[in-house]
């Protein structure tokens, strides 16, 4: 009755119907009124949404997105209702007894909805839950959600399907799960599915499934080269026919990923010559490759095919297994790249009307998925792929209007007039994922080549920078062919950056000697041929940061096979070129730390030479000479000072540097205690057994003299450094500092407690919980020092006095 009363309004505003539909369906299911008709309607919607493959153009994509979202909204409402309404066991037993007593009588079912108090009884709730289980008897809902880019929902529907089937075999659905985890960037779960797949026998009835999953596992782990080889092996075995077009689509898509754009065009054109009916599936790939290559004649040719041909030469849909192949949604993902190609073609011809028409088509194609995603919570994450494409359209329109048409009339809002600032802000906001960064870089390169302005030199530098950025992304993803291809294209404009990136690429491949030699060669060119104007007129000026990056990388790569003096010299050059860099100081400190560890491991008399501790009581060792011990003291001093200097310029490596410098400082002081204090005065719980042997060493006096001097220098450096950095940095290692509060060396203990006091005074709310155990400790020294720190902090911050009193009361309770 409610729906019929609102029917007139629903005809003019569909959102009213979308709002009322879940409540109406809820009552229909709970009251068992026309449930058969409802089942047919919902299953028809599911079938209607799932039957269209990605290569079909009718109905429109936005309509299918809206239909799918209506189904999801309805199911979410039913799930929420069933979870918020629990079944009363007493009422359930009462109704069962009542049905047994009234089996003979003709009694109508009680109304699930009690109008008086607005609550549901057990019968209605059971019907709702049974209906939800009925919808999850297969994977239709999971496949629909996956098809329309709602991957978290797809996984939830898969879990509901698996919970209804207790005997489910995960290996039978491994292909869907692999694709799902691939879209979710959940590599751990994907590796688990790959492991389950490897433990199951091969499917002799359908060997193609194993091939698909193997190729997908390569793509998931970033092994694009292996995926291409797998595709080629499969295509050599199978004849070219309509049943394996998805293999060619996947093969060509991986060629695009490897930046083999011309090869993609040649392969696609050759296939189209044999099978002209495949042109509508392969043409988007050719269009994407053409505009990324900036081959405008080819782009115009590929974009010239009429829409009527696209409808008439439609590929016949294959069976369900081929619909759910690895790249079943490839054409959907490439549709936007095809739109970009058509827009760029119109811009190159300076056809303003055609540009606006194609631009609006591309814009409208993104509105359906975004509108559907906006109907539920978490819409931003679900629609982010389409929002990123909107950003690309905005960049394209902004550049074309400013530089091609010289017009300010924009379809999308533009706030910035500087295209360089516009692109830099865009890349700063993008997540660190090649899925979003690489399309932006490719479009930027094409737009810079689209403009026939006189500033070609500056454009060449910007294009080279884009290729360099693409090379870094490809190297991070272990994509060798794309990385080396991008480096070759960036070499003319950015030779130093390319040399550094190429060396890192060689090092990652295991070619460490080649990486070092290439860096040395570039260093020679940089220092010896820098004044040759003929060689450098088309290159960027070599900045101090580039020199520092070259020296730093060469020093890090040369640590294992070069003399220590040469490595120190390289680090010195890096620090002189960029003294404000945190990483130059951090890696030098790590090198000092490595030298210290190698000296400790060379002690044959130590029973714990494989220990990872900092000093391993090296001062008391009989297997080290006095010269080695003095050298190790110097390494500790240099390492601590360099770690402190690195934290002065940044906190990127704070979890490595801060904890390490504190450990080296405090452990060195502990090792020196037996030489400073008499054995009977040593209160350290850590060193009681080593006090006697340490005092009896022949070089104990010299160790004491030099050790005290080095420890004084280290403590003075740490104390001075703590005044130049914000106190919140120490929160990263505050639990460790608190654990060493009873240090046995007096000067070190005083400096350490001073740091703890400053941090507690600045952040009492955060640090109190880490010091509660000290106040309640059975060790009197620990408790007394905790109270002393609190009292000292109260003198620094008078407002802490009441806070400390309340804290002590809380601890006693």
Q: Which residues contact 687 (CB under 8 A, 6 or more apart)?
A: 617, 670, 671, 673, 674, 744
Give the separation between CA 426 and CA 464, rounded to whole angstroms.
18
Chain position carrying tokens 């751990």: 188
Of 203-212, 487-496, 731-740, which has the strongest mean pLDDT? 731-740
Query: Nearest-CA neighbor of 638 among 578, 671, 595, 592?
Result: 592
Structure tokens at 195: 């492991």
Tens-digit pLDDT profile for residues 389-441: 998 998 898 888 888 887 766 655 555 556 667 777 777 788 877 888 899 99
Q: 3-class SS at 724? A: coil
Distance CA 223, CA 209 (A): 19
The Cα 657–Cα 642 span in angstroms is: 9
Compute the average pLDDT of residues 573-591. Answer: 94
Dist. CA 301–CA 557, nearest whole Å: 50
**CATH 1.25.40 boundaries in the chain:** 481-579
Residue 428 CB neighbours (<10 A)? 7
d(CA 279, CA 599): 68
pLDDT the model gives residue 617: 76
pLDDT band at 378 (very low <50, low <70, confident <90, very high): low
Q: 718 vs 666, 670, 713, 733, CA distance in Å?
A: 11, 16, 9, 15
pLDDT computed for residue 380 by the predictor: 77
DSSP-based three-state secondary structure for 85: coil
Within 13 Å and on the Cβ side, how many CA atoms surround 375? 21
* Cα 607 to Cα 620: distance, rounded to the nearest angstrom: 13
Q: What is the mean pLDDT of the chain?
A: 79
CB-based burial label for 630 (10 Å; 0-12, 13-18, 19+)? middle
Q: Evaluate whether 120 touches 86 at the Cβ level (below 8 Å).
A: no
Cross-strand partners of 113: 120
- Residue 722 to residues 272, 582, 792: CA-CA distances in angstroms? 70, 17, 17
Burial of 539 (0-12, 13-18, 19+ CB in 10 A): middle
Lowest mean pLDDT among 188-202, 611-625, 763-777: 611-625
Which pLDDT does position 108 carry in this prediction? 47
pLDDT band for 121, please (50, 70, 90 cuts): low
The mean per-residue pLDDT over the stretch 450-479 comes to: 84
Confidence band, pLDDT 50/70/90 cuts, at residue 53: very low
DSSP 45-80: HHHHHHS--TT--SS-HHHHHHHHHHHHHHHHHHHH
What burial letters (b/e) apply to 561-587, b meaning 16+ CB within 10 Å? Answer: eeeeeebeebbebbbebbeebbbbbbb
Which pLDDT value is given to residue 311? 45
CA dist., res. 13 & res. 90, Å (int) = 44
User: Can you tell me the distance from the alpha carbon of 346 to that of 349, in angstroms, rounded to the nearest whole number?
Assistant: 5
CATH of 481-579, one of 1.10.3860, 1.10.8, 3.30.70, 1.25.40: 1.25.40
Distance CA 324, CA 53 (A): 10
* 118: three-class secondary structure by DSSP: coil
DSSP readout, 680-712? GG---SSSTTTHHHHHTSTTHHHHHHHHHHHHH
Q: Is the pLDDT of residue 344 over 80?
A: yes
pLDDT for 212 beyond 60: yes
Q: Which residue has the higher pLDDT, 106 or 654?
A: 654
Q: Does pLDDT of 204 surpass 50?
A: yes
Q: What is the pLDDT of residue 644?
A: 94
pLDDT given for residue 615 in this prediction: 66
Residue 633 has a pLDDT of 92
Where residue 265 falls among pLDDT bands split at 50, 70, 90?
very high
Q: Does the structure show a pLDDT above 70 at 100?
A: no
SS (H, E, C) 439-484: HHHHHHHHHHHHCCCCCHHHHHHHHHHHHHHHHHHHHHCCCHHHHH
pLDDT at residue number 72? 80
120 forms bridges with which residues in the sheet?
113
Of 7-11, 49-53, 137-141, 349-353, least confident by mean pLDDT is 49-53
Among 742, 751, 737, 813, smallest CA distance to 784 is for 742
For residue 346, what pLDDT is reported? 92
Q: Which of 436, 440, 492, 429 is nearest to 464 (CA)?
A: 492
Q: What percent of the chain has pLDDT over 70?
A: 78
Share of the chain above pLDDT 90, in %: 27
**340: confidence class by pLDDT, cuts 50, 70, 90:** very high
């Amino acid at each position: 009755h409610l729906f019929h009363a609102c029917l007139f309004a629903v005809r003019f505003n569909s959102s009213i119907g979308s709002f009322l539909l879940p409540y109406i369906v809820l009552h229909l299911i709970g009251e068992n009124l026309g449930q058969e008709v409802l089942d047919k309607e919902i299953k028809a919607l599911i079938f209607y949404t799932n039957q269209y493959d990605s290569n079909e153009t009718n109905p429109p994509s936005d309509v299918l997105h809206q239909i799918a979202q209506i189904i999801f909204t309805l199911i979410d409402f039913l799930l929420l209702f069933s979870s918020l309404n629990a079944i009363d066991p007493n009422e359930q037993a009462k109704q069962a007894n009542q049905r047994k007593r009234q089996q003979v009588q003709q009694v109508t079912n009680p109304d699930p909805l009690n109008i008086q108090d607005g609550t549901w009884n057990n019968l209605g709730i059971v019907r709702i839950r049974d209906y939800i289980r009925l919808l999850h008897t297969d994977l239709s809902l999971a496949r629909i959600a996956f098809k329309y880019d709602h991957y978290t929902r797809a996984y939830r529907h898969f879990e509901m399907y698996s919970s209804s089937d207790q005997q489910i075999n995960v290996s039978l659905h491994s292909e869907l799960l692999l694709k799902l985890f691939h879209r979710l960037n959940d590599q751990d779960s994907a590796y688990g599915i790959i492991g389950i797949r490897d433990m199951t026998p091969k499917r002799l009835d359908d060997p193609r499934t194993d091939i698909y999953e193997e190729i997908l596992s390569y793509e998931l782990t970033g092994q694009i080269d292996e995926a291409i080889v797998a595709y080629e092996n499969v295509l050599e075995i199978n004849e070219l026919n309509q049943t394996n077009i998805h293999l060619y689509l996947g093969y060509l898509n991986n060629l695009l990923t490897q930046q083999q754009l011309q090869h993609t065009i040649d392969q696609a054109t050759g296939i189209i010559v044999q099978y002209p009916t495949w042109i509508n599936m392969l043409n988007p790939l050719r269009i994407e490759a053409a505009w990324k290559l900036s081959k405008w004649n080819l782009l115009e040719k590929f974009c010239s095919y009429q829409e009527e041909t696209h409808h008439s030469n439609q590929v016949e849909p294959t069976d369900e297994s081929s619909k759910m192949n690895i790249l079943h949604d490839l054409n959907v993902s490439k549709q936007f790249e095809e739109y970009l190609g058509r827009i760029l073609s119109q811009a190159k011809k300076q056809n303003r009307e055609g540009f606006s028409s194609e631009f609006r088509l591309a814009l409208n194609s993104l509105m359906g998925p975004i509108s559907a995603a906006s109907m539920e919570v978490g819409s931003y994450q679900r629609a982010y792929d389409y929002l990123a494409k909107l950003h690309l359209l905005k960049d394209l329109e902004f550049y074309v209007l400013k530089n091609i048409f010289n017009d300010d009339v924009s379809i999308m809002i533009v706030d910035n007039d500087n295209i360089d600032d516009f692109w830099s802000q865009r890349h700063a906001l993008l997540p660190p994922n090649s899925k979003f960064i690489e399309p932006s870089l490719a479009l930027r390169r094409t737009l810079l080549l689209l403009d026939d302005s006189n500033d070609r030199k500056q454009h060449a530098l910007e294009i080279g920078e884009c290729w360099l950025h693409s090379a870094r992304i490809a190297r991070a993803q272990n994509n060798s062919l794309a990385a080396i291809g991008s480096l070759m294209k960036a070499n003319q404009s950015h030779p130093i950056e390319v040399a550094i990136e190429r060396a890192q690429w060689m090092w990652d491949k295991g070619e460490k000697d080649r990486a070092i030699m290439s860096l040395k060669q570039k260093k020679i060119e940089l220092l010896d041929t820098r004044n040759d104007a003929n060689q450098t007129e088309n290159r960027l000026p070599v900045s101090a940061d580039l020199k520092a990056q070259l020296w730093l990388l060469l020093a890090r790569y040369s640590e294992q096979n070069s003399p220590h003096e040469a490595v120190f010299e390289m680090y010195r050059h890096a620090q002189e070129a960029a003294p404000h860099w945190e990483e130059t100081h951090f890696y030098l400190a790590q090198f000092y730390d490595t030298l210290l560890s190698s000296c400790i491991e060379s002690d044959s008399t130590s029973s714990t030479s494989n220990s990872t501790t900092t000093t391993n009581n090296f001062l008391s060792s009989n297997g080290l000479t006095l010269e080695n011990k003095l050298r190790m003291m110097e390494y500790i001093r240099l390492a601590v000072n360099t770690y402190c200097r690195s934290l002065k310029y940044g906190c990127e490596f704070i979890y490595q540097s801060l904890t390490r410098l504190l450990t080296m400082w405090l452990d060195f002081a502990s090792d020196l205690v037996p030489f400073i204090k008499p054995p009977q005065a040593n209160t350290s719980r850590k060193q009681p057994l080593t006090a006697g042997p340490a005092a009896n060493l022949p070089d104990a006096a010299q160790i004491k003299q030099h050790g005290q001097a080095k420890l004084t220098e280290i403590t003075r450096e740490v104390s001075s450094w703590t005044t130049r950095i914000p106190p919140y940095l120490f929160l990263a290692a505050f639990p460790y500092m608190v654990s060493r509060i009873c240090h046995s060396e007096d000067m070190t203990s005083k400096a350490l407690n001073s740091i703890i006091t400053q941090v507690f005074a600045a952040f009492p709310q955060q640090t109190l919980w880490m010091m509660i155990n000290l106040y309640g400790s059975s060790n009197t020294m620990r408790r007394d020092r905790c109270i002393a720190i609190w009292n000292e902090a109260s003198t620094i911050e008078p407002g802490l006095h009441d806070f400390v009193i309340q804290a002590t009361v809380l601890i006693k309770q």
